[in-house]
Structure 1
Amino acid sequence: MRKLNRKTGLIALTLLLSQTALMPTAFTKQNEVIVKDSLINVRSGAGLDYPIVAKVEEGNRFTVLERKGEWLKIQVNDEKNGWVAEWLVTAKGENSEQESVSTSGTITAEGLRLRKGPGTSYPIVSVLSKDTKVEVTGQSGSWVEIQAGSSIGFISEEYIRMDSADHTIGTITADSVHLRSGPSPTAEILGKIKKGSSAEIINAENGWTNIQYQGHSYWISSQYINKRKADSRSGKLSIEITASSLHVRSSPKMSSHVIGSVKKGNTYKVRRTDGRWYEIMLEDGQKGWIASWYAKPLDNKTSPKRKKEAGKQITITRDKINIRTGPGTNQPIAKQANLGDSYKLIGMKDNWAEIELSDGSSGFIANWLLSSDSKVRPASAVQAGSLTGKLIVLDAGHGGMDSGAIGTSGLFEKQLTLRTALLLSSKLKQQGASVLLTRGGDQYISLSDRAHLANQQDADAFISIHYDSAADIGAGGITTYYTHGHQLELASHIQHSLLTNSQSQDRGVKQASLRVLRENKRPAVLVELGYISNPAEESLLHTARYQELVTNGLLNGLKSFLNK
């Protein structure tokens, strides 16, 4: 993910520059932009090093006065202007054909390219899978503006199915039903849903039903769900919030003013619906709108709580632990537990503890995060230098259609980064850590999705693994990058340990605006572990000895940072 002029030769760079000169931009003078993060900084200049002169909130609109690279100068008010990062806002052209819409839809094509603007000449932001649920935020001609996760961009209208305002709710009839990635008994199992649970029915085909459950889209066998229409009249439909913190807005669209927020697990009666939005009443009497895909319908009849089962008392040994609906880190999050919380143990499954929750339902926690004692395990009980209970996200750079740099011998960077990530993952697990890989094979994963995984899982550390390239074939050495100030300490530990283990040339710890880091709220770094454009250095990079040295360096750097 390094800059293109470090990954290709001069010919490719010339072609790119000529295409860029002809490429229209989504931001031009006198266009409007809308803030898409909850609260962003406005700076005195075009860069992260400039002082903050103001802060602006999500949903606010501002006129663009000037552009420098990835920074936009906006008119904050009559007396003040400043610079904001382009990736924190979305464009709304004053003179475009864009019309305001607020609904949701489903992607109908596999590998659909999400583009930065309304046309095929715009850069690709991300690649979307079939059946992905997205929010529709606008339209420009035959192009639809959508938000998919943390990514915002445009797709052709022929590849999206707009959702109806009518809601069909289903109730699960079997004890435990597999949630699958597609309408097939061979599709990947993503989790389970229990008998009596409610979910919104999106559509059905060939004996399979596509449901929206806890903010995600899944497929289940149609024989295990009963359908019923959701009644949106006041007091007839109740919902439970599934997002950890959800904005309540003044009207049923993402661009409207935020008037408050609600927390995960809170329940409300729906006053009325508008498309895919619910109007609810807050505790202070205010009425506001929430996105329905962050809420799950509840049955009006309260089913009796499951009879409590006697079992061992377990205690949470760290703060903000995810309790999941099934035994695995890919299962949906049911709620969070905090340091010192205690639960009754139902049983163990695949190194995961099934526990009883306060409402009588069950959830799963990784057993390395638990203690069977009545007291919280003291820090001294953990072996010095151990990574027990730590969650690390490893990101093997590039993948799929993105080969990364190509070495002098024809070696693809994406192959080498995956090899390093898999070896490091094995070593981390031996030290007691839990490891998540952004990719375990040759897949294309968007940069935003890589960062989002670390944020979503509240990872203790995130490492993006890369190998460098330059026009100068003599360039060599190791570099560690960070973007935000809170990432600098991890970067320093990693770089020091890598150099100690590998004896490579020190190219330093550097700050750079890299998407996989700048959208990452966790301690995160991107490492360039050598230059595959250097024939002498490339001959060493893929050897077992070098891979051992750099993975040991990364391992020791993580241990020194996490056990400081």
Structure 2
Amino acid sequence: MPALNAEKAIAQEKAIIINTESLNVRNGPGLSFSVAKQVHKGDEFQVVSSENDWYEIKLNSSKTGWVANWLVTLKAGSSAKKGTVTEDGLRVRDGAGTNYSVVAALNNGEEVSITEEQGNWYKISAGSIAGWVHKDYIAGDAPETEDSETVSNVQPDNWTGISTDNSLNVRNSPGLHGSIIGKLNKGDKVSVTGSVSGWFRIEFGGIEGWVSSQYIEKPSSASKPPANQVSYGKVIINSLNIRENANLNGKVVGSVKQGEVYEILEEKNNWYKLSLKGGKTGWAAGWYMEKTVAEKPQKQQSTRKAEEVQILYNGTNLRSSAFTNSAIVARASSGETFPIKKKTGEWYEVSLKNGQTGFVASWIVSVSGSSDSAPVNKPKSGGLKGKTILIDPGHGGRDSGTIGYRGTFEKDLTLSTSQILYDLLKKAGADVILTRNDDSYSSLNTRVALAHYHDSDAFISIHYDSISDSSVKGYTAYYYHQYQKELSQTVLGSLVKSLSSRNRGLKQGDYFVIRENKQPAVLLELGYLSNPSEEALTRTHSFQDMAARSIYNGLDEYFSE
């Protein structure tokens, strides 16, 4: 289990009300913790503390537990908080969600009383108007220095800043009263052109924007990204235009689709220059992409004429012969390269810098200047016992994945589903490895490297899907290489037998964890969190158990042929 954060935010004099029919109270702030108790709709509890998206509540005089904040309503203390509307025509709804009816509208500058909080929504009152509004458009009481600054007091500046926070609001003026015009992700680079107390003026998508200075870091003049790292962008909307230039006036030269991942070659004012198929490039709006920084796939080191191995891990052993128990003659660091003399079974004999030779296992290195990129054909027969299976719960940590119609985090569902599958496979005698076993972040390259390091017989990446059309539902299986197709077909066939949702078929998908994977691999999207009914279904233990058992049965069939 993940360790608890000692610096928990104290939430004094607050209480929550359960707003779902039944809710598991857990022994820690995450779905991976065991269930301490089950509570029911309407139950009220005192809040002891909070951590990330979880509240610690008092169950009795000696016991506490944790509940997800998106499944409860937070009651404020005896006096309501005050807030100010930051947008004209703000819709007031009769419930906490866009699916509820609009009952009124408020204008920029109007003051409201905040009486409750539920997920990303506030329950407010303003005169005779009462209802729910999205919290992004309500500013709380702010220090006078923030709201009283004017653009005429801007200090000129010109440097490159880096966002240190995900979903950082970009506003049209300095202060919380400014309307939100977009968002920055962690690691995004921006041009800072001026400042007032507490706020930086930036170039944003060809226009001027303002961000809180506490979330923009000025890098050292000597700091450069490591040579072995690269940024990737995942498209988070249904269709995104690719343009010739880094602004909205640039000519549209193509489009990319939701879920596709591309290498980011350059960043300019929150626009990303992408490496596209066929060697082409183009610019996309960075606020419609989810950025990840990972180690550069070693197969891109293709300019060497002679065959070389490149070390993937620090402290890799180079041995005196092609056996894991032979003497260690040297140790190598990640990124080092050695010329190949010959290949002996699953080992490479390489030339060392001191003129000696050494042997290194093929599954912990990358080979350049070679056409031998296909995986070794491994025997599939014999069932699950003894097979090495990598389970990859998608996303995690700072990367929440998609967020459902009612606030479900994809990263939580992928982990709980993967843990059920892990238990099933372990009982069958398989050697099972999880790329993460808690709410932690792991780079895409690390996930693939684990499959290569362990020479896995199968790599299963678990995900849940999302799309702008909330009526879409179903599950999909993706492969990239032909040697991954059989595994993907077999697992999908097993899902068809058990899941009642729509089978959206087997597709070839350009996803990093299968594209860069030399092992049999499949990426599964098990349901659409953008569909309210399917989101509710996928959150149930019965669905996750059925999905995991279906994948298990598909693997059993695959290894029994």
TM, length-normalised to structure 1: 0.40
TM, length-normalised to structure 2: 0.40
